[in-house]
Amino acid sequence: GEAGTVLHWDGSEWTDISPSTSASLWAVWAADATTVFVVGNNGAAFRYDGSEWEELPTGVDNNLYGLHGTAVDDVWAVGNRGMALHYEGAEAADSGS
């Protein structure tokens, strides 16, 4: 959400697990019970492993609004100006603009 807010629902309460960013985050996708990806403004992208956030360098300044994948090493993010990024486990790769 706004200003990097990420909340986790455990079935009984919400917990703030926000990464260290002020970028607004617009999309979230969970690969499994502990691996979560989020993307947002100015190319912001993060991966959560159940305990820590890792910033994923995208190399773009486009706002990223959509996120989906099939596995932890096959994740797609899309954004404004026709941006599409593919994450394959090491870092996001630009798939066209």
Per-residue pLDDT of the chain (97 residues), as tens digits, is: 999 999 999 999 999 999 999 999 999 999 998 999 999 999 999 999 999 999 999 999 999 999 999 999 999 999 999 999 999 986 444 555 4
| Residues contacting residue 75 through CB under 8 Å, at least 6 positions apart | 29, 31, 37, 67, 68, 69, 86, 87
Which percentage of the chain shows pLDDT scores above 70? 92
Element holding 88 (H helix, E strand): none
